Chains A and B, each alone.
Chain A
Amino acid sequence: MIHLALPYAVAAALIGIGTYGVLARRNAVLVLIGIELMLAGAGLLLITAGAVGGDRWHGGNILTLFVITIAAAEVVLALAVIVAVFRRRDSIDISVTSAAPAHPEGHV
């Protein structure tokens, strides 16, 4: 027996914390960490729904597995892009606009 309010509160808190992480960080890798936390909150919601609903096709669990897999694919691509941007601009600061030169030391 479990009260559902607790998992729901944890999921909502995780999504809020992830939103803060996406908005408050300038390093692109740290923004990605915020996105991971948001996805984690979504997965917790799915698992909670699956744990009590008892749906016939185990949708809650299997969709969480799919979300985890898609998140892994997304992280691979995002990190490849981040490393490519770093090679080109020597910085992954997302507050520097694309008009800035390749060496932003004089501008930051």
Chain B
Amino acid sequence: MTSLDITFLATGAVTIAAALLAVTTRQLVHSALWLVLSLGGLAGCYLVLGAELVALVQVLVYVGAVVVLVIFALMLTRAPIGPSAEHSTSRLHRALAAVLGAGVSALLLAVLLPLAGREAVARTPVDSSALAGDLFGTWVWPFEAISLLLLSALIGAFSVSRLAGGQTGGPS
């Protein structure tokens, strides 16, 4: 165990524990708040792996924007405060879902663990200025395509909400 291993173990444990609570808690708003902790822990994992810029973007975009949107959606759909069972499925359904989730994890582990090897490997921390140079050099066209994607998502969200607003109260 190297010191990086121990640090990663801590951040990974926080991430997984918070993710488990996010999908199992009976309180809707708590689920979104556990998602904050899980994604924040994931940013810590990115830091340990040497990807500082991605960790910062993760905090900014996910913790700052996506989770706020999720909480807004919960408020707009009048999520009940306090524990409620009506958003949860039956016990059998949940057991089947747990089996399937564990199966997916086991399948991925079976593929990935032989790749990992037994020896510790040196990580290569990414220089942010080199990353920026590549982002606006090699990857500039995908980058521009993503800005177009964001614009179309914005317009799509507007038109979806306008469409639904115009038809409220009409016969379905």
* Whole-angstrom CA separation of A4 from B2 in the bound complex: 12
Min CB distance A16 to B, Å, is 3
Against A, the Cβ 8 Å flags (1 = close, 0 = not) of B80-108 are 00000011110001101110111111101
Cα of A88 to Cα of B154 in the assembled complex, Å: 21
Q: How far is the CA of A66 from the CA of B167 in the complex (A)?
A: 35
A10, B9: Cα distance in complex, Å: 9
**Chain A: number of interface residues, binned into ranges:** 35 or more
In the bound complex, CA of A80 to CA of B150 (Å): 14
**Chain B minimum-CB-distance residue to A95:** B89
Contacts A1-B4, A65-B54, A79-B70: A26 and B89 contacting too (C-beta < 8 A)? yes
- Residues on the B chain within 8 Å of A95, using CB: 89
Q: How many B residues have CB within 8 A of the partner chain? A: 97
A81 to B46: give the CA distance in the assembly, Å: 31
- Residue from B78, B109, B123, B130 within 8 A of A51 (CB atoms): B123
Task: Report which of A16, A47, A62 forms a contact with B102, defined as CB distance below 8 A.
Answer: A16
Residues in A whose Cβ lies below 8 Å from that of B50: 51
Q: Write the A1-19 contact mask toward B (1 if CB under 8 angstroms, else 0).
A: 1111111111111111111
Choose among A8, A13, A19, A87 the residue that contacts B164 (Cβ–Cβ < 8 A). A87
Q: Are B76 and A65 in contact (CB under 8 A)?
A: no
User: With A6-B12, A36-B66 as given contacts, are A23 and B87 in contact (CB-CB < 8 Å)?
Assistant: no
CB within 8 Å for A69 and B150 given contacts A1-B122, A13-B16, A19-B100? yes
Measured in the bound complex, the distance between the Cα atoms of B31 and A24 in whole Å is: 13
Within 8 A of A (CB), among B55-69: 57-58, 61-62, 65-66, 69
Tell me, in angstroms, the Cα distance from A20 to B58 when the chains sit together. Answer: 23
Verify A29–B9 contact, CB threshold 8 A: no
Report the nearest B residue to A88, measured CB to CB: B164
Of the candidates A43, A71, A73, which one forms a contact with B42 in the assembled complex, judged by CB atoms under 8 Å apart?
Answer: A43
Closest residue on chain B to residue A22 by CB atoms: B97
Q: List 16 A-B contacts (CB under 8 A).
A: A2-B120, A10-B12, A14-B15, A24-B89, A26-B88, A33-B23, A36-B66, A40-B39, A44-B42, A57-B134, A64-B51, A82-B77, A83-B73, A84-B163, A88-B164, A108-B86
- Which 6 pairs from chain A and chain B are nearest by CB? A16-B105, A84-B164, A20-B101, A21-B23, A23-B97, A27-B87
